[in-house]
């Protein structure tokens, strides 16, 4: 669900999990302004907080705020800051909770100088590392697992950025795509499993790093770019760009939800067009279906592209039978379920002239608890739809994610409690069907390179408790 999706705004949703950006220039430029445009393009990855750190006058300056990137426009677009480097972050809290103390980038003065860090991902052994560091006297200022990395850097006995990074990152398990500002040096690192996307670009001698290519597009045309490879650490300083690789992981584990749900449609992640991938998933969904229907209608905006692919493959007309009020606000902050349900009614509006008397295939990307889908199906039937057949362009969610997606515990996932027929009765649909896992894999260029743990329970690397013991996801 992209472009501030509906289901990510209530208790029926998946949560976004952050975006990072970075800049290094051989000569001073207006770094805060450039970071503003990059983070604005990444806003879909987190709306809880936004922040930047940039180098100025031999020191680091920071501005971290709760809320959206747009709230910082006056400050970051002032044009008063001349800098050779900076990093930025938008956050949705997965590990560590919310609040300004967990807003990023985190910036410290330590034995290695001025170091700032922005992190996208989740360290799956963070509880064990935090417990060990606390026993040794470490003091934490936040509850974010990102702070662990700064502690490990500060405590390293190695010399030089490369050696320090090798030592500090060695204990980490799980997902981390990092942007760091080390003095005036820009560092970008992607974990050896390759869970999260990270991209590097160059334009007119300036290097840029971002979670998604849409943030690089915001900088204008004529920008050359490439993916930061799994396990690669890129260092950009006055001498140019160099990189090295961390020890290889046993396998690759790209997060398939980047293509299904999170990344912006105009981005490329893992070498794939997000737009094209979502259309392919919709086509595959139609191939596995034999329902007779009059219209294919997406849940806006999360189901748009899959619905387009479904309609094309099934030969059923595509219609925007639901309109969306983009000014309805953020329903997840409302205190009661009744208020959140009313907020969905404020946000989504079926078009009776389109759906009235019709057999509708309703397409969305995934089903978590089912409460929002229940409301949307009800809205369509109130508007006169004769039948509603709910189709999801992802397989059934059966487990949480240990690597940065805010998926609820197993007990809260509707597919662990109900069969598709029971789900249909619960949400009020005539039928419910999910994309079969084998068809999802068939639409990926390199299916063995992805993580499907939330569907099949095969977790690529361990989730550890505070004693360092491997523990199943809840």
* Structure-token pair, residue 396: 């059934």
Active-site entry in 18, 179, 451, 461: 18
Strands (E), 78-231: 83-91, 106-110, 113-123, 174-182, 185-190, 199-203, 206-210, 224-227
- How far is it, in rounded angstroms, from Cα 160 to Cα 179? 18
Q: Which residue has the tokens 């040096």?
A: 185
For the chain, how many helices (H) and strands (E)?
A: 15, 23
Separation in Å, CA 296 to CA 133, 186, 261, 322, 394: 54, 47, 19, 11, 17
Short-list 322, 314, 275, CA closest to 297: 322
Query: Which residues touch 2 (CB under 8 Å, ≥6 apart)?
Result: 44, 261, 262, 263, 264, 265, 301, 302
Separation in Å, CA 109 to CA 59, 106, 150, 188, 303: 10, 11, 10, 19, 45
Separation in Å, CA 325 to CA 281, 300, 344, 350, 351: 26, 10, 10, 11, 13
For residue 18, indicate whether it is catalytic: yes
Burial (0-12, 13-18, 19+ Cβ within 10 Å), 154: middle
What element of type H or E holds 341?
Answer: helix 337-347
Give yes or no for a contact between 172 and 191, defined as CB atoms under 8 angstroms apart: yes
Strand partners, 186: 181, 236
Q: What is the DSSP letter of 39?
A: H
Residues of 20-33 as b/e, b for ≥16 C-beta within 10 angstroms?
A: bbbbbbeeebbbbb
Which residues are catalytic, by number? 18
């Amino acid at each position: 669900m992209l472009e501030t999706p509906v289901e990510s705004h209530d208790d029926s949703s998946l949560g976004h999990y952050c975006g990072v950006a970075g800049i290094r220039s051989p000569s001073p430029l207006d770094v805060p302004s450039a970071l503003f445009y990059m983070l604005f393009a990444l806003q879909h990855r987190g709306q809880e907080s936004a922040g930047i750190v940039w180098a100025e006058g031999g020191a680091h300056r920071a501005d971290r705020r709760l809320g959206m990137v747009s709230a910082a426009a006056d400050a970051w677009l002032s044009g008063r800051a001349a800098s050779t480097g900076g990093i930025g972050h938008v956050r949705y809290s997965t590990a560590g909770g919310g609040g300004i103390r967990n807003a990023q980038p985190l910036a410290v003065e330590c034995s290695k100088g001025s170091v700032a860090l922005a992190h996208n991902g989740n360290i799956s052994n963070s509880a064990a590392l935090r417990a060990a560091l606390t026993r040794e006297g470490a003091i934490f200022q936040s509850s974010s697992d990102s702070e662990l990395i700064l502690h490990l850097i500060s405590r390293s006995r190695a010399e030089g950025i490369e050696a320090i990074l090798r030592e500090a990152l060695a204990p980490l398990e799980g997902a981390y795509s990092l942007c760091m500002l080390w003095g005036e040096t820009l560092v970008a690192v992607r974990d050896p499993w390759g869970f999260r996307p990270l991209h590097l670009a160059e334009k007119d001698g300036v290097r840029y790093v971002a979670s998604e290519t849409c943030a690089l597009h915001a900088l204008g045309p004529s920008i050359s770019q490439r993916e930061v490879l799994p396990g690669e650490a890129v260092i950009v300083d006055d001498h140019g760009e160099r990189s090295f690789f961390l020890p290889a992981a046993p396998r690759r584990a790209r997060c398939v939800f980047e293509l299904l749900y999170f990344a912006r449609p105009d981005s490329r992640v893992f070498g794939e067009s997000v737009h094209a991938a979502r259309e392919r998933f919709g086509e595959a969904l139609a191939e596995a279906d034999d329902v007779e229907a009059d219209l294919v209608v997406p849940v806006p905006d999360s189901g748009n592209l899959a619905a387009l692919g479904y309609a094309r493959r099934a030969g059923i007309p595509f219609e925007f039978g639901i309109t969306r009020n983009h000014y309805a606000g953020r329903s997840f902050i409302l205190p009661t379920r009744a208020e959140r349900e009313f907020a969905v009614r404020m946000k989504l509006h079926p078009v009776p002239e389109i759906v009235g008397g019709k057999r509708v295939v309703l397409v969305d990307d995934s089903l978590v608890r089912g409460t929002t889908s229940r409301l949307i199906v009800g809205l369509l039937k109130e508007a006169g739809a004769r039948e509603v057949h709910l189709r999801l362009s992802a397989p059934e969610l059966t487990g949480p994610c240990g690597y940065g997606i805010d998926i609820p515990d197993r007990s809260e996932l509707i597919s662990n409690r109900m069969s598709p027929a029971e789900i249909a009765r619960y949400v009020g649909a005539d039928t419910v069907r999910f994309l079969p896992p084998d068809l999802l894999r068939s639409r990926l260029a390199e299916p063995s390179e992805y993580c499907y743990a939330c569907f099949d329970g095969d977790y690529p690397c361990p989730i550890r408790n505070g004693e360092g013991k491997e523990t199943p996801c809840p």
